[in-house]
Structure 1
Amino acid sequence: MALADLAQEHIDDWITGATSQRRYLIRYFLKWTTSRRLTGELTVPSIPRQEPQNLLDEDDRWPLLQRCLTDDVLPTDVRAAGAITLLFGPSTERLCHLTPEHLKFGDTHAHLVLGRHPVLLPPRLAELLRHLAEQPQLRPQLSRVHAGPRWLFPGMVPGKPISTHGMTQRLNRHGIPVRTARNAALAALAADLPSPILADVTGMHRHTALRWVAYARRDWAEYLAARAADDEETPPL
């Protein structure tokens, strides 16, 4: 089939038969062909957004957070990054790009800026982050004239933050499952916060926050219904 004969129904059939989300990447090719008038205007739907399938159980999440805050055997950066993930669920990219400027230390409290509004930090996490912020960082000779930002989680390359892959591997290696921990933190926050506040606090897009709130509250309603059914079946003592 020639490109000029490509119709919307062909794109729809292609997407409907998709076994991988990679098929949706055809939109970039079609954008190129349309700009050069090789095809007409064709539409590729957005990639379907799936609800989180794996969440760290709350009975595991809180002991793991306690370990991050109190276990001196763990490296400081692992403790701090793990605690932030378990509490606030930022994306790994956002986590890796945190700098000392994201920390606000007051006389009695410390805050971390992930979105538009700072979030209050537990004292032990605040101390971990203060320690990371005060650590000297090696810089290459050429970067001293135009010094870049300091990173709370520097990578192996001087002047660069740790990569998202490196951070994920590092946390996973120390028993902190990044994906499930992040999902559990976001679900917990979404169950308590309206979507605009969730977006402002975490820095996520408001549409994403809205989906998390809808997911968390439906899941919570199902949990309450299941608990009520169990209570009805349990005979009184």
Structure 2
Amino acid sequence: MTLLNDPATSEVHHQLVPVFRALMAARDPRATLYWLTRPTSRPDILADMANGALAIAHAAFDELPTTRNVSYIHDLLVATGVLTPHSIAIDAITRWLTDNVSDLPKAQADLVRQYARWRLLRRLRQLDAAGNLTAGSLETARAALSSAVRFLTWLNARGLTLASLNQHQLDDYLTEFPTRASTLGSGFLRWTTRSRITHAVAVPVPPRPTPNVAMAHDLRWEHVQTLLHDNTIRGYTRVVGLFMLLFAQPLVRTLRMRRDQIQVHGDGEVTVTFDSIAIELPDPLNRLVIDHLDFGAPASYATSDWLFPGRNPGKPLVTENVRGELVSLGIPPNHARQAAMFQLASEMPTAVLAEVLGLSNITAIRWATLSSRDWAYYAALRHEPS
């Protein structure tokens, strides 16, 4: 493979040897050859790194367009160990922030950068290090930054400052833009208050909604049967959907499971550990999980310990990928998970529910309370026509 050759040695560049080995170990050599010969895949980036035209470093990607194929190369270099772990998505938010504070006075722009650095980006890096960074968490951070910039712009237009802001002025803003209340109150204003930049102002916090169930019991079990037996559905979608319908696992958490959370025992028993207790999987779900372990991973050029590896090297499957397929099957994830949680909360002691499913005690108690209070209502819902 001359693409990765160092002209000085006519051999694979020593820093790119891990990439070479990953490409050679791919399950489908024809797909690898196609990928390497297709210009839009950007193999030229690897070639330029091999011949010295481009540095083998994260900084090299700062000058390249932020496209899916460029990001794939970046991910490949990280997943194979050529580059140190690094979040491309977090870098993108940092660049976006620079552009979006450009119209603010310098003091305010610096303040938003401090908020981003100490509150938002630090949290995103913690999630990334734990393998829990999602598109949703990135979008939440971006929305929080947009909220801060919009609010400061509104203050500037009226000659107001954060230091002099009073509750009446804040209420005027929230009356004009009521949909911005939650993001502003839970984000930027909470931080400025804790940092003693603003004083005696608060965004009203609406009461936390009570859990509810919108999927009939019989419909839930119809969905279970579909995912168990319909071989036209992608295998990983079936397993993820069944973990949700049977064990109330949220998609985000399931897609970040590791392979060692599944154990296949010598007697054929298959167990899954969502939190700290292993659960034996019934047949035929156990066979679906074994099939997934053997054949279910999408093609990628770097191994990983994700239970549901994505197409990008070293990354898990994207939540929206599975969510979209479940919705197309008539299985809304939130409703399915709530129905499963309701059923489990009515059958298990609260402490066991929390430990088995990995819930906080507060969440387990709220669902247990709901299930004991509303069982008569749910019994009626069970028999509603779908």
Question: TM-score surpassing 0.5?
Answer: yes
Cα 1:123–1:82 change in 2 (3 A) is same
CA contact (8 A) 1:109 1:123 kept: no
List aligned pairs for 1:49-198, cutoff 5 A. 49-106=208-265, 107=267, 109-135=269-295, 138-140=299-301, 143=302, 148-149=304-305, 151-198=306-353
Alpha-carbon distance, 1:177 to partner: 2.2
Counterpart among 369, 372, 375 of residue 217 in structure 1? 372
Q: Which amino acid aligns with 1:131?
A: D
**How far apart, in 1, do the equivalents of 2:311 and 2:298 lie?**
11
CA contact (8 A) 2:299 2:311 kept: no
The residue matched to 2:374 in structure 1 has which SS? helix
**How far apart, in 1, do the equivalents of 2:205 and 2:359 lie?**
18
CA contact (8 A) 1:199 1:209 kept: yes
Alpha-carbon distance, 1:16 to partner: 9.0
CA contact (8 A) 1:111 1:121 kept: yes
**How far apart, in 2, do the equivalents of 1:198 and 1:80 lie?**
21
CA contact (8 A) 1:96 1:164 kept: yes
Computed over aligned residues only, the root mean square deviation of the Cα atoms, in angstroms, reads: 3.0
Alpha-carbon deviations, 1:61-111, whole Å to 9, x = none? Answer: 112211211222322222212211110111111111123211122325322
**How far apart, in 2, do the equivalents of 1:210 and 1:12 lie?**
35
Alpha-carbon distance, 1:11 to partner: 5.6
Q: 2:192 — aligned with what? A: 33
CA contact (8 A) 2:227 2:241 kept: yes
Larger RCO: 1 or 2 (CA < 8 Å, sep 6+): 1
Once structures 1 and 2 are overlaid, which stretch shifts more, 98-107 or 42-51?
A: 42-51
The residue matched to 1:104 in structure 2 has which SS? strand
The residue matched to 1:130 in structure 2 has which SS? helix
Counterpart among 182, 185, 192 of residue 24 in structure 1? 182
Percent identity of the aligned residues?
A: 33
Gaps of 5+ in 2: 1-159, 381-386
Alpha-carbon distance, 1:57 to partner: 0.8
Alpha-carbon distance, 1:167 to partner: 1.6
TM-score with structure 1 setting the length: 0.77
**How far apart, in 2, do the equivalents of 1:74 and 1:114 lie?**
24
CA contact (8 A) 1:86 1:181 kept: yes
**How far apart, in 2, do the equivalents of 1:180 and 1:82 lie?**
12
Equivalenced residues, count: 219
The residue matched to 1:5 in structure 2 has which SS? coil
Matched, 1:208 2:363: yes
Q: Which amino acid aligns with 1:76?
A: G
**How far apart, in 1, do the equivalents of 2:250 and 2:200 lie?**
34
The residue matched to 1:119 in structure 2 has which SS? strand
